[in-house]
Structure 1
Amino acid sequence: MKSILRSGIALVAAAVLGAGLFAASTSTVSLNNGNGHSNSGNNGNGNGNGNNGNNGNKGNGNKPVTADAVYLDGIKDYGVCRGLSADCYHDWGNTWEEGEEKRILIWSRTGGPRHAHLGTPLEPGLNPPLNADNVAQAGLKTWAEERGIAVDYTEDLSAFSRLNNYQAIVFLSSTRDSLDDSAQTALMQFVRRGGGFVGIHNAFGTEYHWQWYEGLLGGTNFYDHAPNRPGTVEVINDKDVSTEFMPETWGFTDEWYNLHPYPSYVNVLLEVDEQTSLNGRESGHPGHGAEHPVSWCHYYDGGRAWLTTLGHSVEVWTDAEAENDDLFQSHVMEGLESVMGIKPFCAV
């Protein structure tokens, strides 16, 4: 069943949720819908589970939130400004400007299980030779270069000392403890300076013990998945540059990640239909019911973040034929260009 979150009806944006705003438990943080209009309706239970009100919102039920509610409803604020309001964005030098070189960094280091599409671990240094099985790195590099975007790629932590050379960093199926303390600090500073972040597939299985990173993903993490299989993707928001070219539904094969916590304060772009996800019963996860997001975007701590759990199959990164791999490719590249500042970001 297609979600009641239709195009143009995005999940609400959080205003500044810094800890200082919650000194008094009676203080109210007004959440807006990204268009400057306050939502103060009484629909929804605000617990981040199930359908909240007539917009199907997860997180706050489209209503004002008190300090007590933020900490009791299971939705974390992460001590940063996050949501759909551009007020959360810092134009401090890491966004692309006309006349500048367009450049991204692809990060694919794995501290645990490694997806087949990543292939053999890369040698140290920036832009080491790619092996024949490094198909995801090679594929994304080719797609970006076709759009005039220069690409560096690495699994070497020293690259994080140079993040300000890029408008975006792509976490491409990185896993587990992929960063050390210095790299974590560098990533935070990059995002806070207005940098773009793209998380693809097992970027959701990365840095489990780092709360700031969980917030960057949309307040969520990978929990588990059922077997890789065909499914039906549903377009929830057809106004964003990464979805506006898509049919209402389209077939795709993936692992269909189950997530926990459920994404909050994000603009859901795509979901997988309930029949495909089967409520997660095969994997042990209780599932997401009729609303199972697979792509979304939001502003976070000064930067822009665009996320998708899609991209498991080796074939979608190669020239091999795979169902609607062209839609997936365009989805990723349009999302990437939007976080870089080349195209409009996260339309609602």
Structure 2
Amino acid sequence: MAARLLVFSRTTGYRHASIPAGVAALAALGRALGLEVEAAEDPAALRADRLADCAAVVFLSTSGTVLDGTARRALAAHVRGGGGFAGVHAAATAEPDWPFYADLLGARFTRHPEPQPALLRVEDRTHPATAHLGCTWARTDEWYDFDRDPRPGSHVLLSVDERTYRGGGMGADHPLAWYREVGRGRVFYTALGHEPEHYADPDFRAHLLGGLRHAVGAAEGPA
């Protein structure tokens, strides 16, 4: 397994106040997996030579256009060639004019109501990102709507019950965390993680750790 984790958190749109807490949490979780962790906001961090020893790239609440053409090509080659990718929360708002990125994540963010409590359904209790949870998970967060259902080509881990909060726009089937394969690469995405305090929550940290394990190939999700 490659020895490095890149946590990328550049924003050119809305910037979440939770980014510093998220960087610190992901750095600790990456080190727990035995990885060297680099945090960056410069697209130059995503160059083919710098990704050569990278187990996975994490986009942490990135927003707007955050990559130049060279970085886009390097990231696509990294994933297609077998590297890992994880997107956290607003990562689904990044790179709005790059079709590959929409295919990478499986869906793009469209809107959300105000943060509020809701009930998540745990659809897979064997995957490392959700094995620590019960059948449901009560949380307060921003509940993202997406431009498409990511289920085709994705394995959904968590979905939110729109009957338990106000303003949902996707109906009875509303995925919020999933994994997928792109080329030979492993991709994990979770829409959770709006508030700084989420990154100190043991259940959320375990969710992120399991997602990282999947992305870097330290644990394989069920087929």
Q: Same fold (TM over 0.5)?
A: yes
- Higher helix proportion, which one? 2
Unmatched tracts of structure 1, length 5 or more: 1-95, 119-133, 281-286, 319-324
> What SS does structure 1 have at the residue aligned with 2:63?
coil
> What SS does structure 2 have at the residue aligned with 1:239?
coil
Partner of 1:308: 190
8 A Cα contact 2:56 2:83, kept in partner: yes
> What SS does structure 1 have at the residue aligned with 2:118?
strand
8 A Cα contact 2:128 2:213, kept in partner: no
Aligned equivalents of 1:239 and 1:183: distance in 2? 34
- Higher strand proportion, which one? 2
Which of 149, 154, 164 is 1:262 aligned to? 149
> What SS does structure 1 have at the residue aligned with 2:18?
helix
> What SS does structure 2 have at the residue aligned with 1:197?
strand
8 A Cα contact 2:25 2:205, kept in partner: no
> What SS does structure 1 have at the residue aligned with 2:46?
helix
8 A Cα contact 1:277 1:292, kept in partner: no
Partner of 1:222: 109
Give the drift of 1:236: 0.7
Aligned equivalents of 2:166 and 2:170: distance in 1? 9
Partner of 1:190: 78
TM-score norm. by structure 1 comes to 0.61
Which of 275, 289, 295 is 2:171 aligned to? 289
Give the drift of 1:300: 0.8
Partner of 2:52: 164
Partner of 2:208: 332
Which of 130, 147, 154 is 2:33 aligned to? 147
Which of 126, 135, 138 is 1:248 aligned to? 135
1:347 aligns with 2:222: yes
Residue by residue over 1:159-213, the C-alpha shift from the partner in whole angstroms, topping out at 9 and shown as x without a partner, is 1121112110000000010101111001011111100000000000001111110
Identity over the aligned pairs, expressed in percent? Answer: 38
Change (3 A) 1:307 1:111: same
> What SS does structure 1 have at the residue aligned with 2:52?
helix
Aligned equivalents of 2:26 and 2:81: distance in 1? 24
Residue by residue over 1:41-97, the C-alpha shift from the partner in whole angstroms, topping out at 9 and shown as x without a partner, is xxxxxxxxxxxxxxxxxxxxxxxxxxxxxxxxxxxxxxxxxxxxxxxxxxxxxxx1x
Pairs aligned (count): 220
Residue by residue over 1:261-296, the C-alpha shift from the partner in whole angstroms, topping out at 9 and shown as x without a partner, is 22132101001112234462xxxxxx1212111100
Structure 2 residue identity aligned to 1:248 = C
Q: Which has the higher contact order (CA 8 A, sep 6+)?
A: 2
Aligned equivalents of 2:171 and 2:31: distance in 1? 39
Structure 1 residue identity aligned to 2:206 = S
1:238 aligns with 2:114: no
Give the drift of 1:253: 1.2
Structure 1 residue identity aligned to 2:57 = I
Aligned equivalents of 1:229 and 1:149: distance in 2? 35
Residue by residue over 1:122-175, the C-alpha shift from the partner in whole angstroms, topping out at 9 and shown as x without a partner, is xxxxxxxxxxxx221112112222332221110011111211121100000000
Aligned equivalents of 1:295 and 1:114: distance in 2? 21
Calculate the aligned-residue CA RMSD, in Å.
Answer: 1.4
Aligned equivalents of 1:301 and 1:147: distance in 2? 24
Alignment of 1:1-348 (within 5 A): 96=1, 102-118=3-19, 134-161=20-47, 162-218=50-106, 220-263=107-150, 264-278=152-166, 280=168, 287-318=169-200, 325-344=201-220, 346-348=221-223
Give the drift of 1:311: 0.5
> What SS does structure 2 have at the residue aligned with 1:317?
helix
Residue by residue over 1:211-238, the C-alpha shift from the partner in whole angstroms, topping out at 9 and shown as x without a partner, is 11000001x1000000011111110112
TM-score norm. by structure 2 comes to 0.94
8 A Cα contact 1:253 1:313, kept in partner: no
Aligned equivalents of 1:294 and 1:192: distance in 2? 24
8 A Cα contact 1:105 1:151, kept in partner: yes
